Amino acid sequence: MKENRIGVYICHCGGNISDYVDVNKVKEAVENDEGIALSKTTIFACADSNQKEMVEDIKEQNLSGVVVASCSPKLHLLTFRSVSERAGLNKYNYVHANIREQVSWAHSDDKIGATEKAIQIVKAAIAKVKLAEPLEPITVPTVNAVAVIGAGIAGMRAAIELADAGSNVILLEREFFIGGRIAQFDNLCVSNETGKELITRLYNEVMSHENVTLYTGAELVETSGSVGDFKIKIKVTPRYINSHCAKGELQKAIDVCPVKVPDEFNFNITDRKAIYHNYPSEYPQLPVIDMKNCTRCGECEKVCSSIDFSQKEKIIESNVGSILVATGFDPYEPEVGEFGYKTIENVVTLPQFKRIVHYAKDKLLYKGKLVRNIAYIYCVGSRQLDGENKYCSRYCCTSNIYAAITAKKQFGNINNFHFNRGIRTYGKQELLYDESSRMGDIYLQSFEDLPPTVESVNGKTVVKINDYLTGGKELEVEADLVVLVTGMVPRKDNSIEKLLKIPKGRDKFFNEIHMKLRPVETVIDGVTIAGACQGPKNIMESMNSALAAATKSFSLVDSGELAHEPIVAIVNADNCTYCDLCSQACPFDAIQMIEYNGKSIAEINNSTCKGCGMCIPVCPTNALDLTSFTDKEIFSMIDAIANHS
């Protein structure tokens, strides 16, 4: 057995600890214990001067282990590990004892008890450090490739960024056309570029990169492996149309198709054929046959030689080091009867309204009637008092005011009435609010507990409100069109979420690890999130998060190898009978069954195992242990505490 030469440092933390814990008494209680080569108190253990002193102590005294009793390990574990490393001591021979959060702050009413507890905790740490083994990080090779899921603006921006940095990118789009929600937008604030122009620009950039491969009609159907080396399977649905064909023929094929279905791209305000593109000049510029609705009547084949029903679904397999998810949002679909939606004829949602304005020529007509008074009801599906959507959808105020201004400018003679709950056109978007009110738009405000009402009275649609800005007076407007300013909700299709096990937040959007400190990472190592799949964002914010996620993913795959914490579960092959309980308990799918010496045992995947310890207590044969937290170490800590008290 090696000789223990342990250094113990007890920190005052300015007074945070020493005001309640008698640090000298703690020092005295341990300084004469077996194996203690050095014990000190220090005002701030984390201060530069003390760190330097520790490095010298470790070298001069030839210490075999170090304990610092100070704050939470969340704050300074890494600090002191690197102190050990700098002094040539393996960093896993360092043990952290928390006597601030767990002692002085928690027991400020009982100084004697606090000091006793601090002694126990330090003694336990000493017991652990005596048994601590030096460990080396586990390194895994990484594939310098990233799968980006979703070719909307966030996905395309991230793909370009990754490709620029030198990674291979597989860009997957479930739809047959790229651009996501932004393709459905006309002019954008503040650039005045249209959504189509923006995505065309991004698309051209994506296509000009050799190391981006774009798949449309593609879905991720299977993943395995872990950060650095995910194996992915992609299902690609064919378009049933050959590329390289005469444009005129394709238009004829669309014209002759007898099938008519509501066009989801236009939020069902128009119809499309079974062979379609969303709008002319859309990318990729090849139409697609929607097999769900196609009757296989064969009319299109007669006029167009490029139709090819023999095309088959393909499964493509690939390896990537990281997966960047940018699947976007769905617009909130109001419930039937919510502010008259689907029960009163002239009630539409904001996305529908934008398409109506887009398709209107010189007059704004809805169902053949001239529209003059438009009532906009804000926060529909957002900031709900009773519903689940408590959040603000961030983009809708701006988007709606812009649409209202556009309609007014385009058609003239339009009265806009904004039934809002406080306008949130933050930043530069405030200019739009200003423009709208300068144009004579009327703003009426209420709170969530007394929302406006929409009623049909004698064939006229009347919106009523108790206007807070007019002392709560009840006011009404006869509206020719009511626009429900709907917010963002998570995508209905949750296949990606299930496949990758990305956790969701209270708002049901994908959840990052920490809103500020780790804003684009998920708890699934190697899976990053960008854009509105993470929560409501406007275009600029989506772009920012796309760049952040691309950078994060790149940092994981770029160096060719990835270092993991060596704190992982280990299997004692002799004891293991592979009962499968451990793999059921594992939240990270890190345990597989293998054959070893003629019997089935569990094997831990070191690159997926997070060292959480969930598997250890369920093992009936005690065949599992956790490095750095071995049974032996834990028992010795318990003994140390028990012996002292």
Partner 1 sequence: MAKINPDFTKELSKYGAFDPNACYNCGHCTAVCSLSDEQNSFPRKMVRFSVLGLENEIQESLDPWLCYYCGECTATCPREADPGELMMSLRRYLTVKYDWTGLSGLLYRYIGVTLSAFILLALIVVGVGASLNFDLHKIMQYGHLFEMFAIGTVFLLILCPNVLHMWWLTVYKSDAKPKIKNYFKSFSDLIVHMFTQKRALSCDDNKFRWLEHLILVFSYLLLLFTTVFLNWFETNNVLIIFIGYIESIFIFLITFDFVRRRVKKDAEISTHSQPSDWFFVIWLLLMGLTAILVRLAIDFHFIDTFSWLYYLHLIVLVQWALIIVPFGKWTHFLYRSFAIYFQKVINT
SS3 string, 510-567, reads ECCCECCCECCECCCCCEEECHHHCCCCCHHHHHHHHHHHHHHHHHHHCCCEEEECCC
Distance of CA 117 to the CA centre of its chain: 41
CB of 467 to partner 1, least distance (A): 8
CB of 442 to partner 1, least distance (A): 6
Does position 438 interact with partner 1 (CB under 8 A)? The reply is yes
Q: What gap in Å lies between CA 272 and CA 184, rounded to an integer?
A: 15
Closer residue to partner 1 in complex, CB, 268/470 = 470
Does position 475 interact with partner 1 (CB under 8 A)? The reply is yes
Closer residue to partner 1 in complex, CB, 36/475 = 475
Closer residue to partner 1 in complex, CB, 360/475 = 475
Q: What gap in Å lies between CA 598 and CA 587, rounded to an integer?
A: 28
The correct pick among 141, 258, 412, 440 for binding partner 1 (CB under 8 A) is 440
- The DSSP code sequence of 41-105 is EES-TTSHHHHHHHHHHHHHHT-SEEEEEES-HHHHHHHHHHHHHHTTS-GGGEEEEE-IIIIIT
139 in helix, strand or coil? Answer: strand
Does position 365 interact with partner 1 (CB under 8 A)? The reply is no
Q: Which residues pair with residue 377 across a beta bridge?
A: 419, 484
The two tokens of residue 372 are 């003059």
Closer residue to partner 1 in complex, CB, 242/415 = 415
The correct pick among 240, 276, 391, 443 for binding partner 1 (CB under 8 A) is 443
Closer residue to partner 1 in complex, CB, 77/477 = 477
Say which amino acid occupies 550: A
Does position 251 interact with partner 1 (CB under 8 A)? The reply is no
Number of residues that bind partner 1 (CB under 8 A): 22
Closer residue to partner 1 in complex, CB, 261/469 = 469
CB of 69 to partner 1, least distance (A): 56
Angle formed at CA 499 by CA 571 and CA 153, multiple of 5 degrees: 130
- Spatial contact of 400 and 360, defined as CB atoms under 8 Å apart: no
Query: Which range of residues in 214-222, 442-450, 517-525, 599-607 is near partner 1 by CB under 8 A?
Result: 442-450
Closer residue to partner 1 in complex, CB, 320/444 = 444
CB of 536 to partner 1, least distance (A): 25
Of the candidates 452, 504, 457, 494, the residue with the CA atom closest to the CA atom of residue 478: 457
Closer residue to partner 1 in complex, CB, 54/379 = 379
Q: What gap in Å lies between CA 354 and CA 331, rounded to an integer?
A: 13
SS3 string, 88-114, reads CCCHHHEEEEECHHHHHCCCCCCHHHH
Does position 453 interact with partner 1 (CB under 8 A)? The reply is no
Closer residue to partner 1 in complex, CB, 158/379 = 379
Closer residue to partner 1 in complex, CB, 478/580 = 478
Does position 413 interact with partner 1 (CB under 8 A)? The reply is no
Say which amino acid occupies 558: D
The correct pick among 274, 477, 500, 626 for binding partner 1 (CB under 8 A) is 477
Q: What gap in Å lies between CA 134 and CA 128, rounded to an integer?
A: 13
The correct pick among 449, 474, 514, 516 for binding partner 1 (CB under 8 A) is 474
The two tokens of residue 233 are 């399977």
CB of 430 to partner 1, least distance (A): 10
Of the candidates 25, 95, 124, 24, the residue with the CA atom closest to the CA atom of residue 645: 124
Report the number of secondary-structure helices (H) and strands (E) in the chain: 15, 34
The correct pick among 112, 246, 370, 439 for binding partner 1 (CB under 8 A) is 439
Q: What gap in Å lies between CA 213 and CA 222, rounded to an integer?
A: 18
Q: Which of residues 454-473 bind partner 1 (CB under 8 A)?
A: 464, 467, 469-471, 473
Query: Which range of residues in 437-445, 490-498, 513-521, 570-578 is near partner 1 by CB under 8 A?
Result: 437-445
Does position 208 interact with partner 1 (CB under 8 A)? The reply is no
Q: Within 13 Å and on the Cβ side, how many CA atoms surround 239?
A: 19
Q: What gap in Å lies between CA 537 and CA 431, rounded to an integer?
A: 19
Which positions from 571 to 590 touch partner 1 by CB under 8 A, shown as an x/- string? --------------------
Query: Which range of residues in 96-104, 131-139, 155-163, 435-443 is near partner 1 by CB under 8 A?
Result: 435-443
CB atoms within 10 A of CB 444: 22
Closer residue to partner 1 in complex, CB, 141/440 = 440
CB of 163 to partner 1, least distance (A): 46
Which positions from 5 to 44 touch partner 1 by CB under 8 A, shown as an x/- string? ----------------------------------------
The correct pick among 259, 442, 523, 614 for binding partner 1 (CB under 8 A) is 442
Beta carbons within 8 Å of 214's beta carbon, 6+ residues apart: 151, 171, 173, 178, 206, 207
Closer residue to partner 1 in complex, CB, 267/376 = 376
Does position 606 interact with partner 1 (CB under 8 A)? The reply is no
CB of 470 to partner 1, least distance (A): 5
17 in helix, strand or coil? Answer: coil
CB of 426 to partner 1, least distance (A): 15
Q: Is the dihedral of CA 607, 608, 611, 614 positive or negative?
A: negative
- Using a 10 angstrom Cβ sphere, with 0-12 exposed, 13-18 middle and 19 or more buried, the burial of residue 258 is exposed
Does position 376 interact with partner 1 (CB under 8 A)? The reply is no
The correct pick among 136, 335, 478, 580 for binding partner 1 (CB under 8 A) is 478
Binding site for partner 1 (CB under 8 A): 415, 417, 433-434, 437-440, 442-443, 445, 464, 467, 469-471, 473-478
